[in-house]
Structure 1
Amino acid sequence: MENKLYFIGAGPGDPDLITVKGRRILSEADVIIYAGSLVSNEHFKYCKENVEVYNSASMTLEEVIDVIAKSHKENKKTVRLHTGDPAIYGAIKEQMDELEKLDIPYEVIPGVSSFTAAAAAIQKEFTLPNVSQTIILTRVEGRTPVPEKENLERLASIGASMALFLSVNMIDKVVEKLKKGYGRNVPVAVIQRATWGDQKCVIGTLDDIAEKVKEENITKTAQILVGDFINCEYDKSLLYDGSFTHMFRQGKDENSSN
């Protein structure tokens, strides 16, 4: 493994949902900085016995970079293990900027995001024909602000399928904004710790989801999925329609006996 920092998406929870490439590189690492309780300790079963492990939950950006810089100088193979996919709410840009200042090369290995894991948990498809062909990944503003042009009410007014990160602790605020945006009652699913052993799924509508979430005591580590895709009528895809031709399936000649 080249002497560079590897950002690896560990997946949403189930340790088998890391990519083959991610696990291979992880198994070769001398140093791992991982995202605390969001990443399963099961991943460490595949690591070297003497691997150095740091929990970034209690570390500042400067401390993380210091560990990486020291490991790089000592020619140690280093992994920054993130939950889900590091490109989504992973705060990796600020880390990459610091690495570039230090001329430390890096590579990003994608992972399974919690929003796709949540859809899998309730066995739904975000992009149903004639229902929605767009998925909006967003969050409601909390301590971290959201640009005004990305206000949840405005996004909801589009009517697309939605996945909200980092918002379940403000479920009442989320519901209020979604009701104003959608202008009607729509299906909602809340999935806590998707693919973990203690995964919990709650399905309802904007009218009752807040109450159901509170009854289940879901306050963190959950995805909020919103949209008609959760429960609706839909058109079948043309992909498997026998009358629809494409480069891999040509239509049969009407006069052919084959």
Structure 2
Amino acid sequence: MQIIGAGPGDPELITLRGQRLLSEADVVFYAGSLVPEGLLCHCRPQVEAIDTRALTLETLLPEMIGRVQAGQRVVRLQDGDPALYGALHELLLGLGEAGIPFEIVPGVSAFQLAAARLQVELTIPELVQTIILTRASGRTQVPAPEALASLAAHRASLCLYLSARHVEQAQADLLMHYPADTPIAVCYRLGWPDEHIWLGSLTEMASLTRQARLERTVLYLISPALQGSQSVRSRLYSPEHAHLFRPKARG
């Protein structure tokens, strides 16, 4: 069985390996609310595609296991990258208990596509060198040491998932440490046909969200790297910086 990262939604933003395995699959389980049907273009016409958006793990897992045990090639198509907010852990436990071998194929995460769309590097020398991926606390509680207000103290490039319904509290927590004019991007359904990105300052994060009536499939980028042109540069390609592959010039 393969667990494949589908990427954020664009059928072309999937690895070659993921695409090949999809083309060989007999059965594909995917959450239609998060993975567009366009990704199934990589599958054979006779593939059995099962939308799992309304299923529980107690229903989904036996279906997967049964098909694997019947000798079918089974793919679980996960939105984004399987390692991030994909309920992967509980699935792997269930597969392990059933003795089902599996392979995980990584995928492109929404924060990576967001940076590409915005044409920015999230780690600019002397400005910001850390990226934090997190979410606001809601129905799924965030451990106390990872409270958003605590993470904000780092003033890193912060990528906020699954938080649109708690955006007012998230904004208040971030403003405890980030300057009010810190640039932000509100990214909706990245990689889907109706993708949209709003730019503003941190003080506008909640109002931009509410004005657009966004409640789900939203990623927030909060970062000084979004300020635009920066005069600093990496030392990696600097003529003053010698390293293993570019020794210091003699004389």
State TM-score, norm by structure 2: 0.95
Give the superposition deviation at 1:239.
1.2
- Is 1:122–2:135 an aligned residue pair? no
- Is 1:61–2:62 an aligned residue pair? no
Alignment of 1:1-12 (within 5 A): 5-12=1-8
Is the contact made by 1:39 and 1:83 (CA closer than 8 Å) also made in structure 2? yes
Q: Report the secondary structure of 2:29's partner residue.
A: strand
Q: Report the secondary structure of 1:16's partner residue.
A: coil
Match of 2:12 among 12, 16, 21: 16
Match of 1:241 in 2: 238
Distance 1:178 1:23 in 2: 39
Alpha-carbon RMSD = 1.4
User: Would you say how many aligned residue pairs link Structure 1 and Structure 2?
Assistant: 250
- Is 1:44–2:47 an aligned residue pair? no
Match of 2:248 in 1: 251
Q: Deviations over 1:89-140 (max 9, x none)?
A: 0111101101111100011000000111111111111101011111110000
Q: Report the secondary structure of 2:50's partner residue.
A: strand
Is the contact made by 1:121 and 1:194 (CA closer than 8 Å) also made in structure 2? no
Structure 1 gaps, min length 5: none
- Is 1:146–2:106 an aligned residue pair? no
- Structure 1 letter corresponding to 2:241: F
Match of 1:107 in 2: 103
Give the superposition deviation at 1:214.
2.2
- Is 1:89–2:95 an aligned residue pair? no
State TM-score, norm by structure 1: 0.93
- Structure 2 letter corresponding to 1:165: Y
Q: Report the secondary structure of 2:119's partner residue.
A: coil
Bigger shift: residues 156-165 or 36-45: 36-45
Q: Report the secondary structure of 1:45's partner residue.
A: helix
Match of 1:188 in 2: 184
- Structure 1 letter corresponding to 2:240: S
- Structure 1 letter corresponding to 2:71: N
Distance 2:139 2:53 in 1: 17
- Structure 2 letter corresponding to 1:247: L
Give the superposition deviation at 1:184.
4.4
Is the contact made by 1:130 and 1:234 (CA closer than 8 Å) also made in structure 2? no
Distance 1:118 1:53 in 2: 28
Match of 2:169 in 1: 173
Give the superposition deviation at 1:213.
2.5
Distance 1:116 1:51 in 2: 30
- Structure 2 letter corresponding to 1:79: V
Distance 1:157 1:234 in 2: 25
Distance 1:186 1:44 in 2: 39
Distance 1:240 1:183 in 2: 31
Distance 1:102 1:213 in 2: 43
Distance 1:112 1:84 in 2: 6
Q: Deviations over 1:50-93 (max 9, x none)?
A: 21111111111011111111111110000000000010001111
Is the contact made by 1:121 and 1:195 (CA closer than 8 Å) also made in structure 2? no
Structure 2 gaps, min length 5: none
Q: Report the secondary structure of 2:177's partner residue.
A: helix
Is the contact made by 2:180 and 2:203 (CA closer than 8 Å) also made in structure 1? no
Identity, % of aligned positions: 39
- Is 1:211–2:215 an aligned residue pair? no
Distance 1:239 1:196 in 2: 35
- Structure 2 letter corresponding to 1:226: I
Distance 1:58 1:134 in 2: 37
